Structure 1
Amino acid sequence: MTKERALIIILLVAVCTLITRLIPFVLFGGKRQVPKAVEYLGQILPPAIMATLVVYCLKGADLFSASHGIPEFVSVAVTALLHVWKRNVLLSIAAGTACYMFLVQVVF
Structure 2
Amino acid sequence: MPTPLYLAAAVGISAAITWGLRALPFAVLSPLRRSAALRDLSLRMPVGVMLILALYTLRGVEPTAWRAVVPVVVGLAAAVALHLRTRNAVVSVIGATALHVALATALHA
**TM-score (ref. length: structure 1):** 0.61
Relative to 1, partners in 2 of residues 1:45 and 1:88: Cα closer, same or farther, differing over 3 Å?
closer
Unaligned runs of 5+ in 2: 1-17
CA contact (8 A) 1:28 1:34 kept: no
Bigger Cα Rg: 2
Relative to 1, partners in 2 of residues 1:95 and 1:38: Cα closer, same or farther, differing over 3 Å?
closer
**TM-score (ref. length: structure 2):** 0.61
How many residue pairs end up in the alignment?
Answer: 89
Q: How far does residue 33 in structure 1 lie from its aligned partner after superposition?
A: 6.3
Relative to 1, partners in 2 of residues 1:33 and 1:105: Cα closer, same or farther, differing over 3 Å?
closer
Task: Tell me the equivalent position of 1:29.
Answer: 30
CA distance in 1, matches of 2:95, 2:33: 39
Q: How far does residue 68 in structure 1 lie from its aligned partner after superposition?
A: 5.2
Compare relative contact order (CA 8 Å, sep 6+) and give the higher one, 1 or 2. 2
Whose helix proportion is higher, 1 or 2? 2
Q: Percent identity?
A: 25
| Alpha-carbon RMSD | 2.9
Unaligned runs of 5+ in 1: 1-14
